[in-house]
Amino acid sequence: MKGELCIIIHGFAGNLQEIEPLAHALLKMDYEVITPLLPGHSIDKRRMEKVTALNWLETIEKMIKRAIEEGKHIHLIGFSMGAMIASIMADRYKITTLVLLSPAVYVLTPHVLRMRLRELFHSLVLTDRSVRGDQLFIRSIPIHNVFQFHKIVRQAKSIFRQISVPICIIHGRNDETVDPKSSEWIFRIVSSKDKELHYLSHSRHHICLGSESGSVIQMVSEFLEKHHLEH
């Protein structure tokens, strides 16, 4: 889509893999797509120790400012913490649409604790080394950065009422990291007249990588296409 830019922001302690299927699909639809790697999110987690919430925000802000100067229509898409960063930017700058995937509003609730206990049980008999490696990866995150993550969450929660841009929110009902009620809360509180909320019956946190990733791609592409036609 000429002149239409999708900026897709990954989650806290994540990487580009968690949003890659969606990015690839949008590229095939001829959107310009940028998938920035947030500061400190390299393989070496020690590099994250001095990174702040401001660094993450500034990385995305620079891209948005450049795109605005170039006259592009901006679609902000964020996953988990990336959804919160996208929301903060949507409050600051004029964008075309906002897409939130598993937005991280509530991260410690009875639902999440139940899901974590279930995860713990399964981990006792886990044989998939890649999953175990991911768990060790998360445990290696400096506590300083956990505080920075919560700064992002608090800042985003304070501005959702001011968001009026067209918004699409998608969440898995079996999310083991973020309570699915996060998306319902955002849907209720935003000022957007054009807003959509979709729940995926079988998906966990990484909705772009699960069994319903095709549904995610379809929902997002149809939402963007609807607003493309308005220009």
**Which letter does DSSP use for residue 46 in this model?**
G
How far is residue 193's CA from residue 190's CA, in Å, rounded to a whole number? 9
Q: Of 41, 75, 205, 228, which is the active-site residue?
A: 205
| Residue 115 CA from chain centroid, whole number | 20
Based on the residue annotation, tell me whether 134 is a catalytic residue of this protein: no
Distance CA 23, CA 46 (A): 28
Residue of 10, 75, 80, 228 marked catalytic: 80
Exactly one of 87, 102, 175, 203 is catalytic; which is it?
175
Q: Is 115 part of any known ligand binding site? A: no
Q: Is 137 annotated as a binding residue?
A: no
In terms of DSSP bridges, do strands 73-79 and 32-34 run parallel, antiparallel, or are they unpaired?
A: unpaired
The answer to whether 231 touches 73, Cβ cutoff 8 Å, is yes
Upper half-sphere CA count for residue 204 (Cβ side, 13 Å): 12
Cβ–Cβ < 8 Å for 230, 3: no
CA dist., res. 39 & res. 24, Å (int):
22
Active site residue 205: yes
Nearest to 104 by CA among 224, 218, 222, 9: 9
Annotated binding site for substrate: 12, 81
Query: Known catalytic residues?
Result: 80, 175, 205
